[in-house]
Amino acid sequence: MAFLTDRKRADGMGAAKTGTASFWWMTVSSVALLVLVPIFIFTAGPMIGKDYATVTAYFSRPFPAIVALLTFSVGLLHFKNGVTVLIEDYVQGLARKIWIIVMTCVSYAAIATIVFAIARIAL
C-alpha cells in the first residue's frame, strides 16, 4: 500500500526520474571550468609550438600538469553531458542511442588518454 501522495512521489523527479541532477552537474562543472579554462589557456597555450624538451619539462611541473589534467577531465565530462543533450534534441530512435554511446565512449577514452599521457610526462 502506498502511503505517499502522488505529488510527493513525483516531486523533484522530472520526466526521466532523475530530476535536475544533470542540470546541476552542468552548473557545478561550468563553475569549475570558469576557473580552470583561463588558467589552462595561459599555462598550456604558450607551450604550443615549443620543442619537445621544453614541453615535457614544463608538464613535469606539478601546477601545469594538474591544471591540464583537471581541465581536460572536467571539460570532457562536461562535453559528454552537453553532447548528450544535443543528440537528444536532434536525433531520434536507435540512432540517438548509438550516438550517445559513441560520444560517451569517445569522452572517456580521451580522459583515459590524457591521464596516461600527462602521468607519463610528469612521472
Partner 1 sequence: MADSNSDNRPLSPHLTIYRPQMTSISSIFVRITGNALLGATLLLVWWFLAAATSLGAFELASSVITSWFGNVVMILSLWALWYHTLGGLRHLIWDTGRGLELQAAERMGWMMIIGSLVLTALTVFYFLQGV
Q: Which residue of 39, 70, 77, 83 would you call a contact of partner 1, by CB under 8 A?
A: 83
Closest CB to partner 1 among residues 100, 118: 118
Q: How far apart are CA 99 and CA 116, in angstroms?
A: 26
DSSP 17: S
Note whether 20 binds partner 1 by CB under 8 A. Answer: no
Closest CB to partner 1 among residues 6, 89: 89
Q: Which residue of 79, 91, 99, 108 would you call a contact of partner 1, by CB under 8 A?
A: 79
Interacting positions 84-113 with partner 1 (CB under 8 A): 86, 106, 110, 113
Report which of 74, 79, 78, 62 is spatially closest to residue 119, judged by C-alpha positions: 62
Report which of 82, 77, 74 is spatially closest to residue 34, judged by C-alpha positions: 74
Helix (H, G, I), strand (E, B) or coil at 123: coil
Site string for partner 1, 22-61 (x = CB under 8 A): -----x--xx-xx--xx--xx-xxx-xx--x--xx--x--
Virtual torsion, Cα 30, 35, 36, 41, nearest 10 deg: 120
Closest CB to partner 1 among residues 10, 90: 90
Q: Count of residues binding partner 1 (CB under 8 A)?
A: 35
Q: How far apart are CA 96 and CA 40, in angstroms?
A: 33
